[in-house]
């Protein structure tokens, strides 16, 4: 691995770690103290703020994907070359698992802590609102689609400079406000995998949906952005940027 790719995967690891630790941490740790009143609105903002802050911190290094569905969507949108995909996704998954592990260490330090779903995603009986598999699948596809569309548009040539992290962070906040009652909000396979490995059991059995649906939605969103006429950045490959569009 060359030095440039090494910097990129470290940035993706740290960004995904912060997303899972901050977003899921708000859900798991604040839930132990209902009097704090954070609620699902607070959790939604926590997820949005993690992306916003780390996009400014490491966006110029890696493009601030922090999400396999985003990486694959940007591939379809011709923003990144294919060689970025596997290293990025490995770093994202490892970052999410590491964050879930640290969160588990902290959470289990409280007497009487019960694992429960540990901020995992689910459908049917594991859905917060008991939504069906079909409803959860549609929700995740649609939310992931618009997330990628917003990412592509806000980082396109000609978009207002420096504001993309704000748009993307607020988009993720809105997505959580919509879908926390449905799936507990994934739109990110890495974010789903980390907590599920610690929640275990049925949550692991349902992980497939939270890989398949966000990736379908993300790739469709990347393709739709191309159809809308978003001009790809220049690069060595025709229509493919050699560096991710910074967010």
Per-residue pLDDT tens digits for 84-132: 999 999 999 999 999 999 999 999 999 988 889 999 999 999 999 999 9
Q: Where are the domains of the chain?
A: 3-109+117-227
Q: Which residues does 109 contact at the CB level (< 8 Å), separation at least 6?
A: none
Helices 207-227 + 133-154 axis angle, to 10:
40
Shortest CA distance to 46 belongs to which of 63, 21, 64? 21
pTM of the predicted structure, to 2 decimals: 0.91
Closest CA to 247 of 171, 167, 143, 145: 167
CA-CA distance, 67 to 216, in Å (whole number)?
A: 13
Class of domain 3-109+117-227 as given by CATH: mainly alpha
Q: What is the pLDDT of residue 34?
A: 72
> Which residue's structure tokens are 């379809």?
76
With beta carbons less than 8 A apart as the criterion, state whether 209 and 133 touch: yes
What is the separation of C-alpha 166 from the centre of its chain, rounded to a whole number of angstroms? 15
Give the model's confidence band at 160: pLDDT under 50 very low, under 70 low, under 90 confident, else very high.
confident
Q: Indicate the range of 27-31, 40-44, 66-70, 208-212 predicted with least confidence.
A: 27-31
In the prediction, which pLDDT does 165 show?
97
Q: Six-digit token pair at 159? A: 């978009």
């Amino acid at each position: 691995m060359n030095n440039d790719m090494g910097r990129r995967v470290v940035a993706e690891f740290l960004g995904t770690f912060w997303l899972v630790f901050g977003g899921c941490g708000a859900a798991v740790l604040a839930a132990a103290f209902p009097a704090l009143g954070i609620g699902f609105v607070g959790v939604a903002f926590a997820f949005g703020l993690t992306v916003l802050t780390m996009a400014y911190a490491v966006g110029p290094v890696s493009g601030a994907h922090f999400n396999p569905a985003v990486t694959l969507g940007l591939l379809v949108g011709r923003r990144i070359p294919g060689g970025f995909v596997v290293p990025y996704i490995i770093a994202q998954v490892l970052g999410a698992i590491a964050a879930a592990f640290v969160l588990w260490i902290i959470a289990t330090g409280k007497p009487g802590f019960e694992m429960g779903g540990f901020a995992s995603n689910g459908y049917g009986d594991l859905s917060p609102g008991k939504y069906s598999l079909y409803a959860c699948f549609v929700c995740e596809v649609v939310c992931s689609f618009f997330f990628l569309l917003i990412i592509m548009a806000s980082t396109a040539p000609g978009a207002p400079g420096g504001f993309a992290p704000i748009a993307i962070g607020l988009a993720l906040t809105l997505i959580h406000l919509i879908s926390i009652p449905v799936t507990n909000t994934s739109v990110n396979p890495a974010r789903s995998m980390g907590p599920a490995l610690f929640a275990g059991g049925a949550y692991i059995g349902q992980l497939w949906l939270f890989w398949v649906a966000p990736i379908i939605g993300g790739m469709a969103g990347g393709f739709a952005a191309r159809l809308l006429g978003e001009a790809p950045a220049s690069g060595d490959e025709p229509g493919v940027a050699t560096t991710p569009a910074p967010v």
